[in-house]
């Protein structure tokens, strides 16, 4: 088994209303950042996990997103990167 760090983006699906993004966009305008046209707010999740290899880590994380981390109706997820954590081999 090796030790991996996996970064995940979870974002509101395009075309759906993102009320949190609208609130942030309005607040930025109120602070004087008038160039902002759109803001979308998602989650950024970093997992540290054991897996036999990077493909296994990727497949596990995909299942985690489908079963818990992302809302399949309103959100899309993207696995941004699977990196081995050096020097952290576990048995």
Residue whose entry in the numeric block shows the structure tokens 């930025």 = 28
Query: Would you say 2 and 51 are in contact if contact means Cβ atoms under 8 Å apart?
Result: yes
Nearer to a second copy, 14 or 73 (CB): 14
Member of 48, 53, 71, 83 binding a second copy (CB under 8 A): 48
DSSP 8-state assignment for residue 34: T
Are 11 and 21 contacting, i.e. CB atoms less than 8 angstroms apart?
Answer: no
The least CB distance from residue 16 to a second copy, in Å, is: 14
Asked if 62 is part of the footprint of a second copy (rule: CB under 8 A), the reply reads no
Partnered with residue 79 across adjacent β-strands are 8
One character per residue 2-41, x = contact with a second copy (rule: CB under 8 A): -x-----xxx------------x--xx--x-x-xxxxxxx
CA distance 30 to 28: 5
The contact set with a second copy (CB under 8 A) reads: 1, 3, 9-11, 24, 27-28, 31, 33, 35-51, 60, 63-64, 67-69
């Amino acid at each position: 088994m090796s030790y991996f760090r996996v970064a995940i983006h979870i974002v509101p699906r395009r075309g759906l209303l993102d009320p949190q993004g609208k609130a942030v966009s309005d607040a930025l305008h109120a602070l004087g950042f008038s160039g902002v046209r759109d803001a979308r707010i998602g989650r950024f999740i970093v997992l540290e996990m054991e897996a036999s290899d990077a493909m296994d880590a990727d497949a596990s994380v995909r299942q985690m997103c489908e079963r818990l981390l992302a809302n399949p109706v309103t959100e899309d997820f993207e696995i941004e990167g699977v990196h081995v954590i050096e020097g952290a081999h576990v048995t």
